[in-house]
Amino acid sequence: MYIDPTAVVIGDVRLRDGSSVWPGAVVRADEDYVEVGRGSAIMDLAFVEAPKGRPVSIGQGSIISHGARLHGCAVSEESLVGIGAIILDGATIGPRSIVAAGALISPGAKIPPESFVMGVPGKVLRTTTPAEIDRVRHDLRSLAAKARVYAEG
């Protein structure tokens, strides 16, 4: 696990093995819990908050990209939330899905597994490809290597 010194992690945040929180990210779990799955990464300047009665769950092997916003939602395993994307209360993102940069997932939205989502509000455009999911896995391996270097000082 790696937490950058400039990240803010508050409250009942459950970071599993190999997870990472990068510079300037804020993870707030002062009213409910935030669970970050094994090997997942919360990137620079991302914001994750669990308001009362709405825990946040990030499945294993997922990336929450730079400047993304998660509020009281669930992101399943091996998913990517793109730069600046917003996922709101009660929304769920199915496994191996990609939420494109700048997309807005409305409160309560249910995104099926292996979906590629774009737009405001977010709409499923197609199924994710094996190459896209392999890219998420590759990027996570690179992030894990960087995290090990930074954790060692």
Q: Is the peptide bond before 95 cis (omega within 30 degrees of 0)?
A: no
Reported pTM: 0.97
In angstroms, how far is the first alpha carbon of the chain from the final one? 14
pLDDT at 153: 79
The maximal CA–CA distance of the chain, rounded, in angstroms, is 43
pLDDT at 147: 95
CATH number at residue 88: 2.160.10.10
Residue where the block lists tokens 């400047």: 67
pLDDT at 17: 96
Helix (H), strand (E), coil (C) string for 54-91: CCEEECCCCEECCCCEEECCEECCCCEECCCCEECCCC
Q: Which domain holds residue 92?
A: 2-152
Per-residue pLDDT of the chain (153 residues; tens, 9 = 90+): 999 999 999 999 999 999 999 999 999 999 999 999 999 999 999 999 999 999 999 999 999 999 999 999 999 999 999 999 999 999 999 999 999 999 999 999 999 999 999 999 999 999 999 999 999 999 999 999 999 999 987
How many domains in the chain? 1
Residues 27/9, Cβ–Cβ less than 8 Å: yes
Q: What distance in Å separates the CA atoms of residue 144 and residue 51, rounded to the nearest whole number?
A: 29
